[in-house]
Structure 1
Amino acid sequence: MKTLAKYLPVNPDFYDVMDLLLHREVRVIYFGVDQILEESNGSFKGIDKKDHGEFMEIVNDKNVRLDRIITINGKIGPAYDAYEAYANACLSCQAGYDD
């Protein structure tokens, strides 16, 4: 079953970053449905506020939920900490090996 996590509030400082990118080309890496990493590229049109969250509108590509953004043009986004934990999860396991 495809699920998307509950919307989490975004740090207000992140909106300043978004303002600087308005009408510019962006490359966004984000968590999609079921925590799958996805990418969206295009011109940043603005932010669309809906009942189930705020979305970055990208011309000619997918809109991206703000709280799921890992990076925009290489800059850290609101979901970066979740990504770092996700990426490092295997480092704590023993990959099937015993001590």
Structure 2
Amino acid sequence: MDYVRKKIKEGSYLPVAWEYREVIEDQIEKGTTGKIFHFCQEEIICSTEGRVVSMEDIPNEGVFIHLDNNKRIRIDRIITLFGKPGAAYDEYDAFGSSCMDCLGGYDKEELDNM
């Protein structure tokens, strides 16, 4: 695995607000099954289907949810959990809107003169 991929995979865990943890705990209690959209690598979005069976704090790695299909997802990378916004939703929204801020390779002055 090259350095860039390793860095992305082992990126620093970002603390998650308690509201997101409560949503996860609620879904575990309900036994909800569905889709989870998450960042699986920097700027790459993945979807995983399943039921969340547990949440675990793994030292030096972060807090993960474990699914019934033996997959695990770091909770700070979750965009949506069964249609509900996750901790990475704002990052996803900013990523999706980033092109609105770009000038398509032109300088502002060039665009003003068109």
Q: Is the TM value for this pair above 0.5?
A: yes
Q: Give, in whole Å, the separation in 1 of the partners of 2:41 and 2:66.
A: 17
Q: Which amino acid aligns with 1:14?
A: Y
Q: Which protein shows a greater Rg?
A: 2
Instruction: Supply the AA of the counterpart residue of 1:57.
Output: H
Matched, 1:39 2:74: no
Structure 1, gaps ≥5 residues long = none
The amino acid across from 1:43 in the alignment is R
Q: Decide whether the 8 Å contact of 1:29 with 1:37 is kept in 2.
A: yes
Percent identity over the alignment is 30
What is the CA–CA distance in structure 1 between the aligned matches of 2:70 and 2:93, rounded to whole Å? 25
Q: Within 5 Å, which residues of 2 pair with 1:16-95?
A: 16-22=22-28, 23-51=31-59, 52-95=61-104
> In the alignment, does 2:18 pair up with 1:12?
yes
Cα deviation for residue 38 of structure 1 reads 0.6
Gap regions ≥5 residues in structure 2: none
CA distance in 2, matches of 1:58, 1:35: 23
Partner amino acid, structure 2, of 1:86: F
Q: In the alignment, residue 72 of structure 2 is paired with which amino acid? A: N
Q: Which 4+ stretches in 1 moved above 3 angstroms?
A: none
Give the structure with the larger helix fraction: 2
